[in-house]
Structure 1
Amino acid sequence: MGTTKTQIFTAEQNELAIILKVLANPARIAILQYISNQSACICNDIVEEIGLAQPTISQHLKELKSINLIEGEISGKRVCYCINQKKWQEILALINDFFYKTNLNCC
Structure 2
Amino acid sequence: MNEKARDEMIRTEMEWIEISEEQRRKEELIKKASKDKRYAMEGDRKADMLQQLGSKQKHRNNLNAYEIQLESEKQEERKIEEAKKKHNLTLQFRKSVQQLKKHRIEDARINKKLHSIE
TM range (shorter): under 0.3
Instruction: Pick 1 or 2: higher relative contact order, CA cutoff 8 A, min separation 6.
Output: 1
Computing the radius of gyration from Cα coordinates, the structure with the larger value is: 2
